[in-house]
A and B are shown apart, each in its own frame.
Chain A
Amino acid sequence: MVIGAVFAGGSGSRMGSTDTPKQYLMLGSKPILVHTVEKLYLHPALDHIVVLCPENWIRQTLDMLSKSLPADGRLAVIAGGATRNDTLANAIAYVEKQFGLAPDTVLLTHDAVRPFVTHRIISENIEAARKYGACDTVVAASDTIVESADNRFISAIPERRMMYQGQTPQTFLALKLKTVFESLTTAEKATLTDACKVFSLKGEPVRLVEGEVFNIKITYPFDLKVAAALLEGAARDD
């Protein structure tokens, strides 16, 4: 079984333009989140999709999704957590409660604000998680990465050909993820905000899946402008 978990935690909880969580901003004719969920919904390998969003946005999220997608029971919306780790824990708990955690249950986690994800990226995530237990979507770093321990001077310049930029999906065998996650201390949970890093630190392999440069995360107003320009460009082409 393969379950997609869309992380739409984000910040902000009030209606009104400036405080609308970014995943609910419009891109083309629909909220960003809806585009992203549609992409997962269309992938035939995904049996079920759960959207994790701020608790007081659950109703609106359901309303938005029901305008585009049929009510066929493949989709659920539940509350995320205060942190990314809490949201992940909620996703695991939901899957366990609804479907049980078989050794081959796959949990594909994806940012709600990455609507440009492709069929191939999703397929290769599922394949890699089944084979290796965990995987992370990445693109080769195009800029040189510099490290600064004191935020003032360079402490190291890692070799660029070994550097990648992380995207999502991040995909796991759900039972393994739960085991690894539960082995963390509270202090570790507070500092380890990336599930792949948790795997890596615990000595578990995390396979790289090739992402796409355009699989951008819409974080800042600039990103939304870029995303909108990409779609507007398409409209001009017609």
Chain B
Amino acid sequence: MINAVYQLVKPGMIDVTYKEFALEGDKAVVRPLRLSICKADSRYYGGKRSHEAIRRKLPMALIHECVAEVVYDPSGAFSPGARVVPVPNAPTHSDDVVAENYLESSRFASSSADGFLQDYIFIEPTRLVPMPEDIDLNVAAFTELVSVAMHAVARFEKFSHARRDDLGVWGDGNLGYITALMLKYVFPYASLRVFGAVEEKLSYFTFAAGAYHVDADIGGMRVDHAFECVGGSDSAAAVNQIIGLIKPEGTVALLGVSETDVPLNTRLILEKGLRVFGSSRSGKADFVSAVELMRQYPEIPRYLVNLVGDVVEVRSIRDIHRAFELESKRSFGKTVLVWNK
């Protein structure tokens, strides 16, 4: 079948291209229902990646956050009409030690392969995760981001010591919000505090025990473990504040992406015996646990609705541009695309 693929040709320029896909293979075919824009997509669109990265990766269809409907599955695992979330990470082999999202050979939609801005997505049926129909479609669109938070939580459980009374999340953006929300439900007895730089955004964290401005008098506060969801140019300040406030032998999860090197107070890391670990993207198991947690606690999708910002109906390439332009002006929340292209 000839599939229309909407590729970023150069920053700010999207063009349609056509690719032939075989229906007689073993891939399932799904049709995007809603998609949402990730900061990584925005960086490509806005030309904020290095010249070398842009030259190497484009043209490429953007977007890796999506909820879709199955239209065809030769394996019979899914019926037509089934609502699913496609996993953007495509491992080429499995490894007993290294998780699929860290394997260098894995392909990732909208990074090393075309993303989901396509008329139809061809994908292995084993890379589809069922999505309950009663979960808000706009929220389901960014399940991938929820799975990224779940992945960090799962790694935290693996790496951290058992005293988890005081947890801290640094970052008042989307990832900070979702990570804090997941922690709230996975560790209901922990005291959860959020640290951020924008008062208004901090006021959204109503479910946390406290939300504090990083410049406020927080020197006396202590956390057992911390999650850094800041990234960018403020990474260093955030991580070093964490290193200062965290108790000895605590665990620091790094989730924020920075384009530059980040200087760290290694002396204190050593003195306190901290464990610092990175967490990036997610694997299928994290999607499954994210959907399961949303199903188990219907309050979670209700909280996540607060993240839904602009909802843009897409019938033309012009509409895709409009969605990316709205996203670029957004300081909090997600831009969701209703895919009617």
By a beta-carbon cutoff of 8 Å, the part of chain A in contact with chain B is 27-30, 35, 38-39, 41-44, 67-70, 115-116, 118-120, 123, 210, 214, 230-231, 233-235, 237-238
Contacts and interface: CB of A to CB of B under 8 A. Distances in A.
B315 interface: yes
A119 B120 contact: yes
Contacts of B1: 35, 38-39, 42
A38 B120 CA distance: 12
Contacts of A123: 340
B170 interface: no
Interface in B38-72: 59, 69, 71-72
B23 A118 contact: no
Contact of A42 (B24, B59, B72, B340): B72
Contacts of A214: 4, 16, 18
Contacts of B72: 41-42
Given A29-B22, A233-B17, 19 more contacts: A28-B20, A38-B1, A41-B23, A41-B72, A43-B71, A44-B69, A44-B71, A44-B81, A68-B22, A116-B18, A119-B31, A119-B119, A119-B341, A120-B340, A214-B16, A231-B2, A231-B20, A234-B5, A237-B59
B17 A237 contact: yes
Interface of B: 1-2, 4-5, 7, 16-20, 22-24, 29, 31, 59, 69, 71-72, 74, 80-81, 119-120, 315, 340-341
Nearest to B69: A44
Contacts of B80: 44
A32 to B, nearest CB: 9
A170 to B, nearest CB: 20
Contacts of B340: 120, 123
Scoring A30, A41, A119 by chain B CB atoms within 10 A of each residue's CB, the highest score goes to A119
A39 B17 contact: no
Nearest to B9: A237
The 10 closest A-B pairs by CB, nearest first: A38-B1, A28-B20, A234-B19, A234-B17, A230-B18, A42-B71, A35-B2, A68-B23, A68-B24, A234-B18
A93 B37 CA distance: 48
Contact of A118 (B4, B7, B71): B4
Contacts of B22: 29, 68
A116 B2 contact: yes
Contacts of B315: 120, 210
Contact of B341 (A28, A35, A118, A238): A118
Contacts of B81: 44
A118 to B, nearest CB: 5
A190 B9 CA distance: 48
A230 B71 contact: no
A230 B120 contact: no
A69 B23 CA distance: 7
A235 B5 CA distance: 12
Contacts of B74: 70
Contacts of B20: 28-30, 35, 231, 234
B68 to A, nearest CB: 12
Contacts of A119: 31, 119-120, 341
